Structure 1
Amino acid sequence: MGLFNWLSGNADDIPTKTQCYHIEGFLSCVHFQTAVEAADRLTAKHANVKVDVNAYVKEQWKERSRELQEEFKSQHSTSPFIYEGCNINEQAFVGGYSDFAKRLKEVYKMNVPMD
């Protein structure tokens, strides 16, 4: 996509209602760190977006990952584990960093690293 095409995108396509994302992972994971940095940029640009971050030491992650897999009926076990939803009864699994980055590019028109 050329620069002009990106600039001419319709800003009305960017959600304006409150959106909530939850990022969980272990502190030394580079993908977790990159997801948190991207989320910081997202919340700085969009006041309607809230991000909750839960960081663990690597030794705790295996157990927490299993809990998240059970809760979201997911096979995703790597860090980070990202889900969305402001209402605890309506939360949905997003994926790992790559899935989150794809969403930021498509939904919020943000330029973020893909890996």
Structure 2
Amino acid sequence: MGLLFSTNSDLEPTGFLDSDWGTCPDSRRSISGYCFFIGRSIVSWKSKKQSAVASSLCEAEYRVLAVATREAQWITYVLKDLKIKLKCDNQSVLHIATNLVFYEITKHIEMNCHVVRDK
């Protein structure tokens, strides 16, 4: 058993993440997941119900972005100087990550914003 790194594959590390919003019918908590690849080989992944109820899809996705950012940082330490690109398709999350002003509606996710910006 092991990881296969094909000679035909580009070895650029890449990460993907996603979250639903309140799918669990009992708790209405969101389910988040991420995976990281080096080339075409998966090297890290996780799927988990979030620990708190998100009040919006944007909040649910930003929470998984913060968790995936911490995982990417850990992988970066392990792999030394390799840089990992996270791909996020949610425009509101991308706006919050690059906007330096916190508004009333985003104050509840301010700590996660700082984690993402710092990394």
TM over 0.5: no
Rg larger for: 2
Short-chain TM bin: under 0.3
TM-score normalised to the size of structure 1? 0.27
The structure with more helix, counted as a fraction of residues = 1
TM-score normalised to the size of structure 2? 0.26
Structure with more contact order per residue of length (Cα contacts < 8 Å, sep ≥ 6): 1
